[in-house]
Structure 1
């Protein structure tokens, strides 16, 4: 007789389920203890584990692990049904096998262990990004501070170094544009510095930039405090219009030229007037030499003279022009002198030999104003032909012609940093040009009559202008 088939009884199944449940509970407890120990060894917190679970390990993995560890019934997998399976009652297992629990636990521990490096990598990247963002913000604030202090050239130099990858790249580009505009005088701030009782024919900054001298049609020379706008001193000349004013390099003396043919020079410490030096016609321009030993003058008597300031003797008398001489300037090294005349020419003369080195002849009308660059390489001239011309001082060759004014150009200046040209015109405007390229950077409007003088402050950050509207204006970068 064949052996009887074994039949599982309900009681046996219950006992097996309780045994499996106890094993599962014990394993879960042990697994939790091992997980805690692993956390301590790896130095990660519950929050770190949660982050790993949520962001690194697949959710499906944890769903399966939790189902097993919580003893949920596993899904029944359909398979072909045999007679034996029909004959044999199907018992649904209510708890997972201990071996399944062990394998699942080990898989969980292994998954967390493998996920730790990825988690740490992501954490390191997050920290690095945060640190870089802080550095980018600090750099932006530093460049903003540079801009607020008015050092626009340094601002541009620092801003262009910032890469596109910077978290503050967009903000830095905005700041860069602001500094470039300020550096190129595209957004100057205008100040109506002073209103005088008569036309302002001439102005000049002191070497330290703290004072401004003005010469007016009423015959007075006034010394202004550039910070407060107050008149510090009023110097009375010969009761005739003052056409030019110029400081000595040490700022201790001031020279002026009058319509009554005189060079008037004062000691600014005690306001003492020195013995006047005289031409045979109005004095249109004066310049004190870099070594302060001599003074040059340009006059309607067609001459350019160089005087010894101590003795008052004429050292050079250059009768080189055929008409009124409006402009004169020393080269920075003091070895040459340049003059401009109504005869349409510019003369470059040696103070060592007294000879004319160059005669520059490209203007079609008289030359009213001159300036020499700080490096001594360039001459800039303004003319009644409405143009500004740039020349090579060494060779006498024309470099370029700047057109844009619609009236006589009666004043020109070069910024002390050697970057810019300013020109003032009968057309009531001031124009700012790039010395190197000749590009017109801006046209400054606001004067209501011709602009007779333009001059830069020693730091190149302020441009002063004056004219027949009896006003002095400050244009700030």
Structure 2
């Protein structure tokens, strides 16, 4: 089994804090999620997470006007410069203070940063005029100007369209106009008059007016004019920036949290603290819309370049919305779980992931797009377990509200609810592979409840455990059920057998999780003392054990007196699962590590670090002694009382809360892994953690594979080889060297997806069998996987099916002999073919009514008969009904029915 898993995507959370950002073309939205950045493609309906991460949560991010450079800054002022298109981190830099505003100039040569009350202008890290072939020659950060005049934190920075002037809005009730370079006759100007902090300030399209928005809901329009005498209308003072108009949003006690202005269309969007947002047409101040998009305050709003889409972010509920204001419709509406995730499950086809959380919600995530496609809210308390039936169209969930529910994932509805005779809360769940029986264990009772899915009746209560049942799992054949309990025993039940007694397997500590190997011959159990035990199902003999305490322990909490290696709470695995081939086992617990073990040898293969985000407790190995004060750790001292605004001083967190609101990050949640699961293909696994739903995969687009690579294999040489093959095909010359195959192998060696697609689609259909027969066996897995993805993504239906047919015709015996090696690829091909079949089926069913209608209409046999019939109609006004029915009449005219 391959174990080179790489982090590929972050699901489950869509927004935490910071500003949102549209790409210059307006099709993608960048959202800071903790210490990483997620990119949502609103046209292709997909999402991905950039592969770099900060040490703390991201506060600010901005893209250069060309869209090639992304600058992200975290809470500590540490910045990462990234090549956005290639997703490569170029440079790390520290601004030595918290950054409250960030903006690239329209020219792209500079960017402005608000560091506290100081405004810094930096040169963009590229040398102007040295761009060759689209590549940027890199230069380090160079400070252009450092300006200080504000008395409080700068909240917003805006550039003029010619990149000569800047506007800053600050908490000191003023906005200021700056010039990037000293200009003759210009002095920095202060725009004062607001009664509360200025949230934003903007130039209009002609740059002849300035709009300022304050927190108390006031909008001022400023113009560069002279003061005139009201009677004589003569100038009585010099020209300067003056308030020419005052407008107010009038939202009672709600304050303005954020604003965005689209200068070309004069559209102002304002988000309020009560969840409302308003659209206003300036300068007339006409209200276009006033809508509520969130139950909590709107933290950030932004507009795309065309001014059609508005993006809103709410950190309290983790909401992300993209709204098209002209059609009044949602382009994107996503929200993560409000509380920690407890369980997850891959669908049998590997296309969906189910997450269940303490907020009582069950979310269905599409793996390919990264979006939540449906949310179930029928449970009234935390959902503790979820599992699919074998076919994948039915989902079962267990909850602390005392119910186990069955969900139809085709119609998206709850069609069956199972309850116990007495009021119990359920904490574990197992489903028979046939989908006929569902079992659940409870922390309140020591029995295992067994229900019939078809009737909903309670079939049996399995007694034997002397402690709460913590975990359940069915074997693949459905004959055996394994249960783990806090009474230090694992029991294997034959629930369809005559006798339902079971002999306990005694362990040394409480059982936290049990799992069946896919072949049903082995059971794994995780205990509270950090041990993994492996038992034979047939003779109940222990086959091996792993001491995982040293592997899983890691990360020191702020209040810990001991080192990370000696911390008490991180010494066990909460959830374990087997890989698809049963050779490895994946384990996660209350620490920042996920461990992958080899079952046969018991050796640790790989450790995956869940997060390096120090905003979460338990990610640091060593604490900084400078953060330890006489009053205790600095991170636990409440410093909100020193804030200037009343809203910032109010602390609404519950005392002693460890989890808290995952979106607000106010209580320093601890890093935990509550559940892990392998994809059915074995090429990916996911983990439910404090950061969100992390997906690790072997299939990443940006992979450079240097195997068999030499200096002659370049994109240009591959294209040249392909052109030579095309010329040979056009001239009719025999391709003795099989040049198409050579180009395909070269493309696989370079492993550039776009180049692979070009070579693949350039091969003539007549040459496909010839190329496939000659493909070396070492490239067959990659070719199979590539063809499967092409069948899913490209519209070339017959072309892709010809490749699949040729592969199985030429190498079918080899695939059969090496089924284990090709299992993930064969599943991918089967999934692609099934999808093609379903699409064709839907298409034919849709056209069936049209075809029936056309077939039910009679038509004339030929023109001669039609002319004869026309002559008959002129003689007789009526046509005999029998002739219409298709029977032969006395005349020459005859109707031919198509039925």
TM-score (norm. length: structure 1): 0.59
Could you give the per-residue CA deviations for residues 438-472 of structure 1, whole angstroms, max 9, x where no partner exists?
A: 111011112451211010000011111013x1511
Aligned to 1:356: 501
Aligned to 2:592: 428
Aligned to 2:606: 442
| Cα pair 1:344 1:366 within 8 Å, conserved | yes
> Runs of 5+ in structure 1 lacking a partner?
1-152, 154-182
Aligned to 2:684: 462
Deviation at 1:344, TM superposition (A): 1.1
Cα distance in structure 1, aligned partners of 2:359 and 2:675: 17
| Cα pair 2:343 2:356 within 8 Å, conserved | yes
| Cα pair 2:436 2:453 within 8 Å, conserved | yes
Question: Within 5 A, what are the aligned runs for 1:315-464?
Answer: 315-351=459-495, 352-362=497-507, 364-404=508-548, 405-406=552-553, 407-447=571-611, 449-464=671-686
Cα distance in structure 2, aligned partners of 1:199 and 1:242: 10
Cα distance in structure 2, aligned partners of 1:275 and 1:333: 24
Aligned to 2:353: 212
| Cα pair 1:298 1:305 within 8 Å, conserved | yes
Cα distance in structure 2, aligned partners of 1:252 and 1:320: 33
| Cα pair 1:349 1:357 within 8 Å, conserved | yes
| SS of residue paired to 2:427 | strand
| SS of residue paired to 2:12 | strand
Determine whether 1:298 maps to 2:441.
yes
Determine whether 1:193 maps to 2:11.
yes
Cα distance in structure 2, aligned partners of 1:208 and 1:344: 35
Cα distance in structure 1, aligned partners of 2:6 and 2:503: 37
| Cα pair 2:546 2:602 within 8 Å, conserved | yes
Aligned to 2:382: 241
| Cα pair 1:431 1:443 within 8 Å, conserved | yes
Deviation at 1:287, TM superposition (A): 1.9
Which structure shows the bigger proportion of residues in helix conformation? Answer: 1
Could you give the per-residue CA deviations for residues 251-276 of structure 1, whole angstroms, max 9, x where no partner exists?
A: 11111010112101111111221232
Determine whether 1:203 maps to 2:344.
yes
Cα distance in structure 2, aligned partners of 1:434 and 1:424: 15
Deviation at 1:398, TM superposition (A): 1.4
Deviation at 1:428, TM superposition (A): 2.8
Moved more, 442-451 or 208-217: 442-451
Could you give the per-residue CA deviations for residues 97-119 of structure 1, whole angstroms, max 9, x where no partner exists?
A: xxxxxxxxxxxxxxxxxxxxxxx
| Cα pair 1:359 1:396 within 8 Å, conserved | no
Q: Which has the larger radius of gyration?
A: 1
Could you give the per-residue CA deviations for residues 154-210 of structure 1, whole angstroms, max 9, x where no partner exists?
A: xxxxxxxxxxxxxxxxxxxxxxxxxxxxx134x533532332332011100000000
| Cα pair 2:462 2:500 within 8 Å, conserved | no
| SS of residue paired to 1:275 | strand
Could you give the per-residue CA deviations for residues 235-262 of structure 1, whole angstroms, max 9, x where no partner exists?
A: 1132211100111111111110101121
Cα distance in structure 2, aligned partners of 1:255 and 1:428: 29
Aligned positions, number: 293
| Cα pair 2:11 2:371 within 8 Å, conserved | no
Cα distance in structure 1, aligned partners of 2:574 and 2:603: 20
CA RMSD of aligned residues (A): 1.6
Cα distance in structure 2, aligned partners of 1:267 and 1:373: 27
Aligned to 1:8: none
| Cα pair 1:333 1:376 within 8 Å, conserved | yes
Cα distance in structure 2, aligned partners of 1:320 and 1:297: 15
Aligned to 1:266: 407
Deviation at 1:346, TM superposition (A): 0.5
Candidates 422, 427, 432, aligned match of 1:284: 427
TM-score (norm. length: structure 2): 0.32
Deviation at 1:217, TM superposition (A): 1.0
Could you give the per-residue CA deviations for residues 299-341 of structure 1, whole angstroms, max 9, x where no partner exists?
A: 1211112211011122221121111101111111111111001
| Cα pair 1:339 1:348 within 8 Å, conserved | yes
Cα distance in structure 1, aligned partners of 2:361 and 2:691: 13
| Cα pair 2:389 2:434 within 8 Å, conserved | no
Aligned to 1:222: 363
